[in-house]
Structure 1
Amino acid sequence: MKKIEEWAQIYLPVSDMAVILDVPPETLREDIRDKTSPAYKAYHRGKVLSKVQLRTQEMKLARIGSPLALDNTRKNLLDMEDDE
């Protein structure tokens, strides 16, 4: 599960993960879709950890005035508020 989390952090496609793990891609996809499986938790945790890093960096850029980062952080805020 640790490897799935690490690979999800670098956005490795599920089909590539399946090759490395020597399992059929559809089997891994099914595990990742099953919210009760360890693969689901590892995969999504990895993605979210990378998202945190990216958004942290984007916030730093927004604070120093990057127009694109400012726009993206505004969108992130709206997405956050929609999810509340």
Structure 2
Amino acid sequence: MEYTDEQLDQIEKFASIYLKISDMAVILDIPAEVLRWDISQRETEVSQRYYRGKAASKVKLLQQEMLLAQVGSPLAVENAHRNLLDMEDDE
């Protein structure tokens, strides 16, 4: 499916707030199966925009988690350690 620039912007924005694909599809008036399939095709612009929006918010969350860990939050320290292990597993 071809997506307009406006739809791509909305998909990136929706992904950044972790809106479910099925909800995005309702708002955009696109069949959920079509949107889900297009996002699963990593070379498509819609997939790249979806994952960019999702990753941008993940960065913000990880930064906040690290700040909390640095001031001694036990849960944040544990989560930061798990994030480090996940990062090393992905290398």
Normalising by the smaller structure, the TM-score range is over 0.9
Q: What secondary structure, in the 3-state scheme, does the structure 2 residue paired with 1:41 have?
A: helix
Residue in 1 aligned with 2:25? 18
Pairing partner for 2:45 from 11, 27, 38? 38
Pairing partner for 1:9 from 9, 16, 19? 16
Aligned mates of 1:12, 1:39 — CA distance in 2? 15
Give the number of aligned pairs. Answer: 84
Percent identity, please.
Answer: 57
Shift of 1:36: 1.2
**Unaligned regions of 5+ residues in structure 2, if any?**
1-7
Shift of 1:20: 1.0
Amino acid at match of 1:18: A
Amino acid at match of 1:83: D
**Unaligned regions of 5+ residues in structure 1, if any?**
none
Pairing partner for 1:56 from 60, 63, 79? 63
Aligned mates of 1:71, 1:10 — CA distance in 2? 24
Aligned mates of 2:40, 2:62 — CA distance in 1? 25
Once the two structures are superposed, the pairs formed by residues 59-70 of structure 1 within 5 Å of their partners are 59-70=66-77
Aligned mates of 1:8, 1:61 — CA distance in 2? 24
Residue in 2 aligned with 1:72? 79
Aligned mates of 2:82, 2:36 — CA distance in 1? 29
Where in structure 1 do 4 or more consecutive aligned residues deviate above 4 Å? none
Aligned mates of 2:75, 2:33 — CA distance in 1? 37
Shift of 1:71: 0.1
